[in-house]
Amino acid sequence: MAPARWWRDGVLYQIYPRSFGDANGDGIGDLRGITARLDHLEWLGIDGIWLNPTFPSPNDDWGYDVSDYNDVHPELGTLEDLDELIAEAGRRGIRVLLDLVPNHTSDRHAWFQDALSGREARYRDYYVWADPAPGGGPPNNWLSNFSGSAWTLHEPTGQYYLNQFLPSQPDLNWWNEDLREAIDDVLGFWFDRGVAGFRIDVCHAIVKDSELRDDPPAGPDEHPEIVKRGLKQVYSMNRPELHDVLRRWRALAARRDGDEPVLVGETYVLDLEQLVPFYGLGEDELHLAFNFLFFHCDLDPAQMRPIVEGMEKMLPEGAWPVWTGSNHDGKRLATRWGGGDPALTRAALMMLLCLRGTPFLYYGDEIGLPDTPLDPSKALDPVTHRTGDPEDNRDVCRTPMQWSAEPGGGFTENGPHPPTPWLPFGDLEAHNVAAQREDPGSVLHLVRDLIALRRERQDLRGGAYETLPAPEGAWVWRRGEGTAIALNLSDAEVHVEGVEGTVLIGTDRARDGEAVAGPLRLAPGEGVVTGRA
């Protein structure tokens, strides 16, 4: 069995810093606003937080365009504010993870500004430059993930630079050893300040084919996301040489005194054969690799269970799964999985917190917050404007945390004329922390009680996963020797077997404590954890 580590046993929580708490009343969330809300996270039972980028940035892609890796965005606060957040979180047993963006910088980063000055510039080779194709035009067929060619011509020097996202996010050249060392220093800088690890942005993409070969066309049987793109990204990203970099970072983390910092990859690949290698031999590459195949499933056991079983079978010794249902790109689980049905949202949260692996909650998941409907033509997110697809507006899952139903939502200053938040609130009355804290039947209390149950029961943390037989639309599994989880994700009543014991927690809290001696009836959308009390 894998040894206990805080990030294996714990529950992690993703915070979008602009949207958690606004301490200085300018309508933008900031680091001091997060510090002010740490008591909520401690009360909930959270062990670690991942902050979306906190670095100086022109915000073309809301922080994912970093102009200085070793500082804090002035809108979010100062280095001292971050030190204080880390210290205050530490006092509550909460670790802090930052978001490392090693694939690209902002075009305003000093390295790129220098690179633009000429072909011989000191930092030119920190980026991926190529001559035009023989007949003119971009060097190859690579596409930006934000639509259009991935190449931008820099006329003064006559070469194209690579940008797999916005043209103002030039890709770094990971074949350059100085660049590798410079990013090592970034890791060290933050580890020295007490950061407990990193989520690594577009981790699968950083190393490109050294020959810049064309990506091949997508076949009709590929994952729908790949068919939609039209190309299989086997040369522009997902290179085998990437694993050298991951081993380098893991070794760097392992050399630190104290708890080894944790590396969590945004490993955006869409089959398990590609995902599993991010764990290397088990303990020499990423600690955790986000599972986007699972994330993109419907809330349907026929889709999800094979992925969980596949991970159980394929993960090497020592590797550990990670499960999440919401994030700042792919939208919120209450909408994607719950589809407006609060019972399904509760069942989905029970699932995430009871699978074998580390769950990541996204701020607002604990109150069942759905996406906020917004007009895409007014989006602050650049992606929907570039693709023209209203579905690509990521603002809907980045709106401010809803702490209370007061005019400022508890997010920013209250009072009759609260500051306008940077993005509008969703329905404050329908979902807010203050009201749910008063209601023991709320989704907030369900999440808190599930987290507490995980802490109490070794079965739910380290116990082996085993699928049990279940009627169609239901998913039943055992954890360890003495705990079972039964979820009815269908719209019909079902009866499940093999879950004898006591209901430890039901999504319908009226069932807590119920004795289960034979088949257990579950209403549509209902879930229970049972076991020896």
Binding site for Ca ion (CB under 5 A): 22, 24, 26, 28, 30
Which residue in 329, 341, 413, 497 binds ligand GLC (CB under 6 A)? Answer: 329
How many residues touch ligand GLC under the rule CB under 6 A: the total is 9
Which residue in 30, 47, 61, 75 binds ligand GLC (CB under 6 A)? Answer: 61
Q: Which does 392 bind (CB under 5 to 8 A by kind): Ca ion, ligand GLC, none?
A: none
- x/- mask, ligand GLC, residues 252-271, rule CB under 6 A, reads --------------x-----
Asked if residue 201 binds ligand GLC (CB under 6 A), the reply is: yes
- Would you list the DSSP string of 233-276? -SSSS--TTHHHHHHHHHHHHHTSSSSPPEEEE----SSHHHHG
CB 370 within 8 A of CB 334: yes
Burial class (CB in 10 A: 0-12, 13-18, 19+), 42: middle
Asked if residue 202 binds ligand GLC (CB under 6 A), the reply is: yes
CB 255 within 8 A of CB 192: no
Catalytic residue among 99, 201, 285, 392: 201
Residue among 29, 14, 38, 27 nearest 76 (CA): 29
Catalytic residue status for 300: no
Q: Which does 262 bind (CB under 5 to 8 A by kind): Ca ion, ligand GLC, none?
A: none
Q: Which does 26 bind (CB under 5 to 8 A by kind): ligand GLC, Ca ion, none?
A: Ca ion
Asked if residue 165 binds ligand GLC (CB under 6 A), the reply is: yes
Q: Which does 61 bind (CB under 5 to 8 A by kind): Ca ion, ligand GLC, none?
A: ligand GLC
Cα-Cα-Cα-Cα torsion 445, 448, 452, 458, nearest 10 degrees, comes to: 110
Is the four-CA dihedral 237, 238, 244, 246 of positive or negative sign?
A: positive
295 vs 320, which CB is nearer to ligand GLC? 295
CB atoms within 10 A of CB 248: 16
Catalytic residue status for 201: yes
Q: Is 491 helix (H, G, I), strand (E, B) or coil?
A: coil
Q: Is 181 helix (H, G, I), strand (E, B) or coil?
A: helix
Q: Provide the token pair at 358.
A: 């580390």
16 vs 403, which CB is nearer to ligand GLC? 16
Residue among 332, 367, 341, 350 nearest 524 (CA): 341
Catalytic residue among 260, 284, 413, 514: 260
Cα-Cα-Cα-Cα torsion 189, 106, 327, 382, nearest 10 degrees, comes to: 160
Which residue in 55, 64, 69, 465 binds ligand GLC (CB under 6 A)? Answer: 64
Cα–Cα dist 12/463, whole Å: 19
Q: Which does 28 bind (CB under 5 to 8 A by kind): ligand GLC, Ca ion, none?
A: Ca ion
Name the pairing type of β-strands 197-200 and 262-265: parallel
Q: Which does 99 bind (CB under 5 to 8 A by kind): ligand GLC, Ca ion, none?
A: none
Q: Which does 22 bind (CB under 5 to 8 A by kind): Ca ion, ligand GLC, none?
A: Ca ion
Minimal distance in Å, beta carbon 169 to ligand GLC?
A: 6
Minimal distance in Å, beta carbon 206 to ligand GLC?
A: 11
201 vs 526, which CB is nearer to ligand GLC? 201
Strands, E assignment, 27-165: 48-51, 95-100, 129-130, 151-154, 159-162
CB 275 within 8 A of CB 290: no
18 vs 328, which CB is nearer to ligand GLC? 328
Minimal distance in Å, beta carbon 25 to Ca ion?
A: 7
149 vs 436, which CB is nearer to ligand GLC? 149
74 vs 156, which CB is nearer to Ca ion? 74
∠ at Cα 324 (432, 528), nearest 5°? 75
200 vs 520, which CB is nearer to ligand GLC? 200
CB atoms within 10 A of CB 286: 25
Minimal distance in Å, beta carbon 328 to ligand GLC?
A: 6
Minimal distance in Å, beta carbon 385 to ligand GLC?
A: 13
- Tell me the CA distances in angstroms from 474 to 177, 466, 494, one per residue in order: 51, 15, 8
Minimal distance in Å, beta carbon 145 to ligand GLC?
A: 7
Minimal distance in Å, beta carbon 394 to ligand GLC?
A: 7
Residue among 402, 455, 416 nearest 93 (CA): 455
101 vs 504, which CB is nearer to ligand GLC? 101
61 vs 371, which CB is nearer to ligand GLC? 61
Sheet architecture: strand order including 159-162: 129-130, 159-162, 151-154
Q: Is 82 helix (H, G, I), strand (E, B) or coil?
A: helix
Q: Which does 201 bind (CB under 5 to 8 A by kind): ligand GLC, Ca ion, none?
A: ligand GLC
- Would you list the DSSP string of 282-335? TTSS-SEE--HHHHTS-S-HHHHHHHHHHHHHHSPTT---EEES-BTTTB-HHH
Minimal distance in Å, beta carbon 181 to ligand GLC?
A: 22
Minimal distance in Å, beta carbon 443 to ligand GLC?
A: 25
Q: What part of residues 80-139 is at the interface with ligand GLC (CB under 6 A)?
A: 101
* Chain positions contacting ligand GLC, by CB under 6 A: 61, 64, 101, 165, 201-202, 266, 328-329
Catalytic residue annotation: 201, 260
